[in-house]
Amino acid sequence: MNRQPQIVETFVKKVLAHLDEPDPAKLEQFLQLFNPHQCKIIFNSQPFGQAVQFLQAWQTGVVLTQHVITAVDFHVIPGTGTLLCNVNCKVRFDESGKDKNGQDSTVPANSQDSQSRPGQGSINSRSLDKPRPIWGTYYGVSLQLVLEDRIFTNDLNGVISSMNYTIVFKPSDSLMSI
């Protein structure tokens, strides 16, 4: 039985899950998927020379995201050991005004209530409770991945040799500017 479609779809889900991951400690695992020698990353028509640059920019410069796959298709290109994967998905951003670390841009008030913003001190006992994201409206994304066919043998090291991520439509009620 041909398992290729399922493997491709699972892999795409994995990539999107990495993009949605808030924990910087897991960046290393994501980085391993990209070809360390030559990897072309294009994000909204802007090139990133290396995967690590892109991932750092994504980790530090983008708020929490949530991707949902809407379409996947792929072609194994004969004789090259590669496949091209064409994905459409939608993405929404955490518009609560907080970054991935839960930091917002509010300047602490200089009065006595500076250290006690409502509720913050009291939940320290449950400090693992991250503030809940406030999801905005979905954007549309078109994503192309050039992958090595080693993914079919469950070898995921450095299999992504290029990635083209393009936001194709945006809602007018989003607070994000792209």
Contact positions vs other proteins (CB under 8 A) = 1-2, 5, 8-9, 38, 40, 42-47, 57-58, 61-63, 69-75, 77-78, 80-82, 84, 86, 88, 90, 95, 97-99, 103-107, 109, 113, 117-118, 137-140, 142, 144, 146, 161-162, 164, 166-178
Choose between 125 and 177: whose C-beta lies nearer to other proteins: 177
Considering the complex, what minimum distance in angstroms separates the CB of residue 118 from other proteins?
7
- Mapped onto helix, strand or coil, the DSSP state of residue 2 is coil
- Contacts for 65-68 with beta carbons within 8 Å, 24 or more apart? 65/19, 65/20, 65/91, 65/92, 65/93, 65/94, 66/20, 66/91, 66/92, 66/133, 66/135, 67/16, 67/17, 67/19, 67/20, 67/91, 67/141, 68/138
Considering the complex, what minimum distance in angstroms separates the CB of residue 1 from other proteins?
7
Considering the complex, what minimum distance in angstroms separates the CB of residue 127 from other proteins?
21
Choose between 14 and 90: whose C-beta lies nearer to other proteins: 90
- Letter for the amino acid at 24? P
